[in-house]
A = this chain, B = another copy of it.
Amino acid sequence: MKVGIIGLGLIGGSMAIDLKRRGFADEVLGVEAEPVNASAAEKIGLVDRVVSLDECVAECDVTVLAVPVGAAVKMLPQVLDMYAAGPAAEFADKVVIDVCSTKEHLTRAVKYHPVRRQYVATHPMAGTEYSGPWAAMPGLFDGHACIICDSEESSPKAVQTVEKLYDALNMRTIYMNSSNHDVHTAYVSHISHVTSFALALTVLDKERDEKHIFDLASGGFSSTVRLAKSSPDMWTPILTQNRDNVLHVMDTYIEKMNAFRQAIADADEEAIRTLIEDANRIRRIIR
């Protein structure tokens, strides 16, 4: 199996490492628009060769779009166009997947594409707040969930190939449609990023004496604000593309903050305690 990775950052690079190491891929090709990242990825040895997009799509059995979702929306139809234009004997069994955090825009962009069935929409839910080829690491995906969206729109063979790929990454697969995916990720991922960004902005804004933040920042603050280090290249398009769901969750969140604010302003210990006890129920879900 030959695998091509478009975008050799944290996700693409980490996939490249484990797919090769664990024998899923005999050869891994990479495509990377940013020259510094491309040469780093080759030097680190993330991929066997850095090639052009055309070469990658033509040579590889599986192509992985591991670029921010704004770029992925443009590239996905291009890749499918190349599949459709090539000789069927060579191109009909090729598969392209994306690994983006939002799905509706992507799936809508190729809904009526003649070779839509060669595309599988996937979202491996793993990552760190770091980016670029230097952030890539083995084992990044182990034990995490991977969502496969609208699998009935893909050919069963393509889905099977992709399931094997995520098996090799030690991920458990979950199936849902794009629309549900985008609602769920707004709740369990996108809102967390927004709250971290807002927390960082709050503290940076008010605490001019940064020395004190550094001195005082306990583990609690660090873990709550960690996601605020996340890349704007990745998160700007996610928040734009999943706008309606994210706004909906943010509105609920702001309501909860205001309820807390009111209870504290009233010094209403009973109300504060009840809010905290209700929040504690998260223990049932998160270890």
Determine the residue in chain B with the shortest Cβ distance to A287: B222
Q: Would A226 and B229 be within 8 Å (CB), given that A214-B285, A276-B197, A278-B204 are in contact?
A: no
Q: Is the CB of B126 within 8 A of A218?
A: yes
A176's nearest neighbour on chain B, judged by CB, is: B212
Q: How many copies does the complex hold?
A: 2
Question: B279 to A192, Cβ gap below 8 A?
Answer: no
Residues of chain B contacted by A252 (CB below 8 angstroms): 202, 205-206
One of B205, B250, B265, B279 near A264 (C-beta < 8 A): B250
Interface pick from A45-53, A76-84, A236-244: A236-244
Among residues of B, the one whose C-beta sits closest to the C-beta of A180 is B212
Residues on the B chain within 8 Å of A253, using CB? 198-199, 202, 257
* Min CB gap A240→B, angstroms: 5
A94 to B: closest C-beta gap in Å: 29
Cβ-based interface call for A107 (8 A): no
**With known contacts A218-B189, A224-B224, A258–B254 Cβ distance under 8 A:** yes
**Please, how many residues of chain A have a CB less than 8 angstroms from a CB on the other chain?**
91
Q: Which residues of B contact A277 (CB under 8 A)?
A: 232
Residues on B with beta carbons closer than 8 Å to the beta carbon of A287: 222
User: Contact partner of A223 among B144, B226, B231, CB < 8 A?
Assistant: B226
Chain A interface secondary structure, helix, strand, loop or mixed? helix
Q: Are B227 and A224 in contact (CB under 8 A)?
A: yes
A210 within 8 A of B: yes
Whether B197 pairs with A279 at a CB distance below 8 angstroms is: yes
Q: Are A188 and B201 in contact (CB under 8 A)?
A: no
0 or 1 for each of A254-287: is its CB under 8 Å from B? (1 = yes) = 1011101100110101001101111111111111
Q: Which residues of B contact A267 (CB under 8 A)?
A: 240, 243
Chain B CB within 10 A, most for which of A191, A217, A284, A287: A217
